[in-house]
Amino acid sequence: MSGRSAGILLHPTSLPGPHGIGELGSEALRFVQFLEEAGQQLWQTLPLGPTGDSGSPYSAYSAFAGNPLLVSTENLVRDNLIEHGPLEKKDGPVNYPEVTRSKTVTLREAFVPASRRMAGKVSDPDLEEFREEHRSWLEDYALYAALKEKFREAPWTAWDGDLAHREPKALARARRELVEEVRFHEWVQHRFFQDWGEVKEAANRSGIEVIGDLPIFVAHDSADVWANQDLFSLDRSGEPSVVAGVPPDYFSETGQLWGNPLYRWDRMADDGYAWWVERMRMSLTLFDAVRLDHFRGFEAYWEIPAGEETAANGRWVDGPKDALFSALRKSLGDLPVIAEDLGGITPEVEALRDRLALPGMKILQFAWGSGPDNPYLPHNYGHDNWVVYTGTHDNDTTAGWLSSASAEEMASLRRYTGRESVSVRDLICLAYSSVAARAVVPMQDVLGLGSGARTNTPGTTEGNWAWRVDGAALTPELATRLRNLTETYGR
């Protein structure tokens, strides 16, 4: 990863674009150009996997596949796969059920001429190469997606028993019966990887590193769990026997019950953590670096018996610790990874992060009201191996936070900055001026937007992951202001 630098956190779904969602076409390339003009060297995204109607990128149907909603409609027109007039940009929040319906129609329309070419014995060498390169996950994902449609989006545990338990004859029969659907999903993935590759290549040519996000856990209803049931703690019916979460703390009397199935780390160790090696390999194909979400779970994780209504009745269980990262480095070399070390972090977690020499995270919204020893205050960073943020996708926007912060927090912030009236720009300047090697600011904070623009409110299910940037806001004047800040603070 680059040295002293600055960047912006913006998920591609938040870009302008047709179909009511951001895509990996001209608007993504335009955002790359904006980053370059603004002197930014980092672009951070959320996970890029396929999502359901909630739109949550942290509850994806695959840890390897890309989100079909991001496939560029413009590029389908460019490649003569669909006939389309001028594509009208649709502004406003993402309506995931509506977008999924309309985008699926477009993709299926485009697949018809593509499939005709394949049926006409004019093979697509790029697609065949893609299928071969990604065979380890693509075959299972494409069949899983086809079966999800066959069973009307039911989770895999509700499918016919022989399919849920992956009996070889049943899988072979399904592949024959659903061959066209399987090919469709393989083709969609090929389009996603092509589109994302063009965007990432443009970013890298402009001197911009792309930082992705790798959640520690995967969704139970996913191709990953269905295809690798022996690697997860499941009962005989395929349901989780224990699930993930975090214990009660200052913020929640009952903790957080996430519900993800937990790994059988002992079985993963038996084959040298091969599934994790391939997962990290894929992430470092898509991105130049990744933020490793819930890093503390690799040291110890909170295990909750399935069926509990809250996270209170759990226990701490040792994670794989150094052994996993040794296996990753043995196969992949140095790991450009950011440790998401937020929340209830113990000395053992900090020691693991430091032994691995991974940069941790500093969030400025957490820095105020608890005295000068607060570890999120810039003068306490101690060294530069940090990524500092004004806030993350789980925080309120900084403008929203400033309007709702406690009197104690605001008094602390005013004393620290020496200002009677503190603005979003002041917090951005604190991040930029800190010793942290990398400073990343959410796009909402760059624009000074209020709470209505926040990305996610943890613990809620409505209105998340839907915010989109107005393309008209990415002006040359805004780029100039950001470039001036990066130059002022040596980023």
DSSP 406-471: -HHHHHHHHHHHT-SS--HHHHHHHHHHSS-SEEEEEHHHHTT--GGG-S--TT--SS-S-----G
CB 364 within 8 A of CB 389: yes
Which of 340, 341, 396, 426 is catalytic? The answer is 340
pLDDT in tens, 408-457: 999 999 999 999 999 999 999 999 999 999 999 999 999 999 999 999 99
3-state secondary structure of 291: strand
User: Comparing C-alpha atoms, which of 337, 42, 387 is closest to residue 207?
Assistant: 42
Q: Any catalytic annotation for residue 221? A: no
Q: Does the pLDDT at position 166 exceed 90?
A: yes
- Of 181, 209, 293, 341, the catalytic one is 293
Give which of 329, 218, 235 is closest to 273, Cα–Cα. Answer: 329
Cβ burial of 459 (10 Å; 0-12, 13-18, 19+) is: exposed
* Residue pair 131/212 in contact by the 8 Å Cβ criterion: no
Per DSSP, the three-state class of 287 is: coil
Q: What is the mean pLDDT of residues 229-235?
A: 98
User: Residue 217 and residue 55: Cα distance in Å, rounded?
Assistant: 17
What is the per-residue pLDDT for 118? 61
Asked if 462 is an active-site residue, the reply is: no
Please give the angle made by the CA atoms of 467, 470 and 475, to the nearest 5 degrees.
Answer: 140
* Residue 94: other Cβ atoms inside 10 A: 20
- Compute the average pLDDT of residues 120-142: 86
Q: What angle do CA 277, 282, 285 make, to 5 degrees?
A: 125
Which residues are within 8 A (CB) of 374 and not within 5 positions of it... i.e. 6 or more apart?
A: 366, 367, 368, 380
Domain ranges of the chain: 5-488
| CATH no., domain 5-488 | 3.20.20.80
Is the per-residue pLDDT at 114 higher than 80?
Answer: no
Instruction: Give the helix ranges, DSSP H, for 168-264.
Output: 168-177, 179-205, 223-227
The backbone torsions φ and ψ at residue 2, rounded to the nearest 5 degrees and listed phi first, read -65, 165
Q: How far is CA 412 from CA 250, 339, 415, 436, 439, in A?
A: 20, 28, 5, 21, 22
Residue 125 — very low, low, confident or very high, per pLDDT cuts 50/70/90? Answer: confident
Angstrom distances, CA of residue 13 to CA of 9, 51, 402: 12, 11, 26
Q: Is 491 exposed, middle or buried (0-12, 13-18, 19+ CB in 10 A)?
A: buried
Residue 94 has pLDDT above 80, yes or no: yes
pTM for the whole structure: 0.96
Banded pLDDT at 117 (limits 50, 70, 90): low
**323 φ, ψ to 5°?**
-60, -40
Is residue 394 annotated as part of the catalytic site, yes or no?
yes
Q: Which DSSP category does 288 fall into? A: S
